[in-house]
Chain A
Amino acid sequence: MKVTIDEAKCCGAGQCVLAAPEVFDQREDDGVVILLDAEPPASEAGNVREAAALCPAAVIAIQD
């Protein structure tokens, strides 16, 4: 699984951090998403998919 994010559109709602804290974080100064692991292990796949589904700005893209 490969994850990419579109920082320019991120509104910093933080839903990805709640869903998959091992894979996503938020920048301290503006809340924009930080990708901690662009190729997360299979064990994280469910959380990452949930994060992508919950992202209100649809900035998380997944490639299997």
Chain B
Amino acid sequence: MTRTDATPATPLPAPRQCPYAPPAFYTETRESGQPRRGTLWDGSHPWLVGGYDQVQQVLRDPRVGADVTDPGFPNTSAAQPELEGNIFFRKDGDEHLPVRRILNPDFTAKRVEKWRTRIEELVDDAIDKMLEQPRPLDLVKHFALPIPTTAICELLGVDLVDSPVVTHAAHLATDMEAATEEKVAAMHELSEVLARYARQKQDEPDDRLLGRLVNEHVPNGDLTFDEVVRLAQLVIGAGHETTANMLSLGVLALIRDEQQREKLLSDPDAYAATCAEEMLRYWTIVQTEPRRFAREDIEVGGQLIRAGEGIICSLAAANRDPAVFQAPEELDITRAERRHMAFGYGVHQCLGQNLARVEMQAAFPRLFQRLPELRLAVPEEELRFRDTHIVYGLHELPVTW
């Protein structure tokens, strides 16, 4: 076992050399076979883990914690402990799994499958509305955001699809450069709106997620009313911004690659699912997650990580690990490979992953079936990627047809 205390200054998330590839620092960390230290905004130096096997090892090690309030936890902004400190997904053990199991029923594979027809309608509705707009238009605003936002709002049972409160809060929450006060204020505003909905559902129960939480799990003491509001906030935040960025990036990839686009359209039923998985693997949009800290000394790739030190797993580097994926730098929508970790790994793996899959499976083929001439309305070099956000993506995607 070795230990290297030399501290490189590479900031996290590391700068990208190419918008279509993970940062070189992540790839080089994987290739070195050992975790390497990066630097966060607060001057702390968590370990970056890049190899596929090493990421899996860390994320299933019970000596590794996910509690955002622990002093060793590598926070990507000062606001995080306050915004996320009491939410199950930043907790361990009994503070995590029982709460996750309360949310699970709305996200099981079968339950989500029942939403497929509705999601297909949302895709068609978004395209219908695009056709009414003057061209060029921003695909992020008119396609990538409305589909998952509507889906998650309907699943939750709230009508906040066009609410600026939601988009503002979600945008700030994932922007690592936004000020703490601004983030907290935006999330507070959103939680007030969600609390109003929750109170309304106490009087008029329904069978959607928020109604179920407030009418089943508050009376029996599983959750407090405030916890329900926080969970609703988490579901709404995590449920649309992530998928929206995957939809924009996936569309961009298909616009750029005529061969892949033609392949998808040659047999959408056959390739819709593999296309979604490949987009997830290729883009791997979370830039600084999953984050953890060592509760005890652990060894990863021969490197000692001491108790109390922070760890950031690079899913992007892991998902391009040549030890697991053939020709990992290539986009191949026919790749029958579901071992990617775009949704994370371990007991915290994305709760909404099955919903996100169905949304992508419905959206990619349908968009190009209905708009086969879809193309960029600006030179590719002018596209602005979300480099400083927790979730990678595009600020806007100007298209025409």
Contacts and interface: CB of A to CB of B under 8 A. Distances in A.
Interface of A: 9, 11-15, 17-19, 21, 25-26, 28-32, 50, 53-54, 56-58
Interface stretch (B12-20, B22-30, B97-105, B188-196): B97-105
A32 B101 contact: yes
A30 B345 contact: no
Contacts of B338: 15, 18-19, 50, 54
8 contacts: A12-B107, A13-B349, A14-B354, A17-B110, A26-B110, A30-B101, A31-B108, A56-B59
Given A11-B349, A14-B108, A18-B354, A56 B344 contact: yes
B353 interface: yes
Contacts of B59: 56
A31 B349 contact: no
Given A11-B97, A26-B108, A58 B60 contact: yes
B101 A57 contact: no
Contacts of B104: 12, 26, 30-32
Interface residues of B, number: 25
A49 to B, nearest CB: 12
A26 B105 CA distance: 9
A26 B354 CA distance: 13
B107 A57 contact: no
A28 B109 CA distance: 11
B131 interface: no
Given A14-B354, A31-B101, A50-B338, A9 B347 contact: yes
A15 B109 CA distance: 8
B101 A12 contact: yes
A32 to B, nearest CB: 7
Nearest to A19: B338
A56 B97 CA distance: 13
B73 to A, nearest CB: 20
Contacts of A31: 101, 104-105, 107-108
Given A12-B107, A18-B354, 16 more contacts: A11-B97, A11-B100, A11-B348, A12-B108, A13-B349, A13-B350, A17-B109, A19-B338, A26-B104, A30-B102, A31-B104, A31-B108, A50-B338, A56-B346, A56-B349, A57-B349
A58 B104 CA distance: 18
Interface in B92-126: 97, 100-102, 104-105, 107-110
A12 B110 CA distance: 12
A11 B59 CA distance: 14
A31 B108 CA distance: 6
Given A30-B102, A30-B104, A58-B60, A18 B349 contact: no
Interface string B254-269: 0000000000000000
